[in-house]
Amino acid sequence: MLIDRVVVNASPLIVLFKSGQADLLPNLFRKVLVPQAVWQEVTIPQDDVASRQLPGSAWALPTEVLISPEIAAWDLGAGESAVLSYGFQNPSYRAIVDDAAARRCARSLGIAVLGTGGIIVLAKRRGLIDSVDNRLKRLQDAGLWLSESVVAMLKQQAGE
């Protein structure tokens, strides 16, 4: 299934902006939804590149989300709950989350997810970038923790 609509959590947005790779989102996906809880989490600090650039990003569509009781039961953060609730209510959207508990919740409820590293792999598969190695390093330098085994798996998925 072609991934062309996503709903994205705060940490992927933040590391993509900090690593200078947020432009991959509108180039990969037709619709990029940002729940209001995520929007506030990213923009309220107003002291980093993500908080300054997200409001001016025409591709990022702020969205109101009602939290599903199935998601609320997991006691996740407000952003994760909103992203997963949207994905649960709208199965044609892929939820972009990195948090381990949120990914466990998604798996148990059948919500399709993609991680920030997966965005880089998808960009390579679609011919937007030549290599994932430097791009993954940029994510790590921006604060995304990726184990050596995850980096190896992502490189393998990208054919590197």
- What is the tens place of the pLDDT at every residue in 27-53? 999 999 999 999 999 999 778 899 999
Per residue in 145-159, pLDDT (tens digit) is 999 999 999 999 999
User: In which order are the strands placed within the sheet that holds 94-96?
Assistant: 60-63, 31-35, 5-8, 94-96, 113-114
Question: Radius of gyration (Cα) for the chain, nearest Å?
Answer: 15
Q: Which domains does the chain have, with CATH numbers?
A: 5-157 (3.40.50.1010)
pTM score = 0.93
Per residue in 82-111, pLDDT (tens digit) is 999 999 999 999 999 999 999 999 999 999
In this predicted structure, the answer to whether residue 1 has a pLDDT above a threshold of 80 is no
Share of the chain above pLDDT 70, in %: 99
